[in-house]
Amino acid sequence: MTTRIAIVCPGKPLRQERADKVLALAVAEFPQAELAFHPQCFLESGHFAGDDETRLAALLETANDPDVDAVWFGMGGYGACRIAGDAVAGMREAARSKTYLGYSDAGTILGALYREGIGKPVHGPLAGDIKREGGDDAVRRVLRYLSGKPVELEAGLDDRPTAAFNLMTLAMLAGTDLMPDLTDHVVMVEEVAEHLYAVDRLFFHITQHLKGAAGIRLGRVSAVPENDRPFGSTAEDIARYWCEKSAIRYLGRADIGHDSQNAIVPFGTNRKTT
């Protein structure tokens, strides 16, 4: 059975050569997957893959298309929060049966979808991650998952509901009308290219909004810039500190991050499957 996958970019644009590599891999190895990169993915409007209206229209077109089975986000990069509220408000019945997959800034849309009970939000590699070392395997993992083939999910999933976010994205969601209810959830967070003092500040904020969570698991915190003086704590020290201060359980590490090893984490209740 054919799985029809539409790719859109709610933030920054995707380079054509990366889309071509994804398409070539899919044609060679996943004949049951039919990929369609929306032309919006390749537009440039300043930082964004087209202006807000164009990005919103592309997302709604694919989400509301009854012939599309899954919406895969092509790139992260800032921009999703500018259209997420209007996107969920404009989604019709066909949008409710789809899988939506991505991470990083696209987590804003995943969180809003989860809040509204629309479709199946899934944290997982972006199409543009094919650029990374080991990126082919990241793309294969997504195409197996979206095609209904057996695939390893994040190894620590259990019976508790789970959600996974970039730390900055979650901090920006917290306190807004797009923030999902994460009571009793295991919340996984990861970060990239932020100073450790900024990671500390982000944990200060998110732990104020996760008091009812089952706990926090820390993914990879990578590409940390050098500061003018050492912060004095590791990322895990920071996570433990704020969890203890906020009476939230620290549940250890998670296999998510801005890299090709970034694991698939369906939002909600899951068990690891093979």
CB 55 within 8 A of CB 85: no
Average pLDDT, the chain: 97
The pair of structure tokens assigned to 79 is 């921009």
- pLDDT value of position 133: 97
Based on the domain organization, do 74 and 179 belong to the same domain? Answer: no
- SS3 for 60? helix
For 26-48, what is the mean pLDDT? 98
Tell me what pLDDT residue 270 has: 80
Domain that holds residue 241: 161-269
CATH assignment at residue 108: 3.40.50.10740
pLDDT tens track for 178-187 = 999 999 999 9
Report if residue 106 sits inside a domain.
Answer: yes
Identity of the residue numbered 60? L
In this structure, the answer to whether residues 171 and 142 fall within a common structural domain is: no
Q: Are residues 134 and 177 in the same domain?
A: no
97 located within any domain: yes
Q: Please state, in angstroms and rounded to a whole number, the distance separating the CA atoms of residues 145 and 120.
A: 12
Which of 99, 121, 146 is at the close of a domain? 146
Percentage helix, strand, coil for the chain under 3-state DSSP, each rounded to 5: 40, 20, 40
Query: How many other CB atoms sit within 10 Å of the CB of residue 31?
Result: 10
Percent of the chain having pLDDT more than 70? 99
**For the packed helices 16-29 and 135-146, what is the interaxial angle rounded to 10 degrees?**
60
Number of residues written out for the chain: 274
pLDDT band at 272 (very low <50, low <70, confident <90, very high): low
| Digit-coded pLDDT (tens) for 82-99 | 999 999 999 999 999 999
Is the Cβ–Cβ distance between 74 and 105 less than 8 Å?
no
Domain shared by 101 and 167, yes or no: no
169 in the same domain as 115? no
User: Domain of 262: which CATH number?
Assistant: 3.50.30.60
What pLDDT is attached to residue 274? 42
CA 127 to CA 16: how far, in whole Å? 11
Statement: residue 248 has pLDDT above 80: yes
Examine residue 258 and state whether it is found in any structural domain, yes or no.
yes
Token pair listed for 95: 């949008």
135-145 residue pLDDT tens:
999 999 999 99
User: Is 73 in the same domain as 132?
Assistant: yes
State whether the Cα torsion 216-220-223-229 is positive or negative: positive
Domain termination site, one of 115, 146, 177: 146
For the full predicted model, state whether its pTM sits above 0.75.
Answer: yes
Q: How do residues 189-201 score in pLDDT, each as one tens digit? A: 999 999 999 999 9
pLDDT for 273 equals 47
> What pLDDT sits at residue 129?
98
The percentage of the chain sitting over the pLDDT mark of 90, rounded to a whole number, equals 98
**pLDDT tens digits for range 94-126:** 999 999 999 999 999 999 999 999 999 999 999
Task: Quote the strand ranges of the chain, DSSP E.
Answer: 3-8, 33-37, 70-73, 99-102, 120-123, 161-166, 186-192, 215-222, 250-253, 265-266, 268-269
Whether residues 109 and 80 share a domain: the answer is yes
Q: How far apart are CA 224 and CA 177, in angstroms?
A: 30
As for how many domains the chain has, the answer is 2
The answer to the question of residue 153 being in a domain is no
d(CA 165, CA 92): 25
Domain boundary among 116, 146, 176: 146
Over range 74-80, report the average pLDDT.
97
81 and 169, same domain (yes or no): no
* Whether 219 and 85 share a structural domain: no
Residues 123, 170 within the same domain = no
* Residues 111 and 198 placed together within one structural domain of the fold: no
- Asked, for residue 101, whether it belongs to a domain, the answer is yes
| Half-sphere exposure (Cβ direction) of 115: Cα atoms closer than 13 Å | 20
CA-only gyration radius of the chain, Å = 18
Pairing mode of beta strands 161-166, 186-192: parallel
User: Does residue 151 sit within a domain?
Assistant: no
CA 274/CA 262 separation, integer angstroms: 17
Query: What was the pLDDT predicted at 271?
Result: 62
138 in the same domain as 20: yes
- CA pseudo-torsion sign 37, 42, 45, 48: positive
- Phi, psi for residue 197 in degrees, rounded to 5: -65, -30
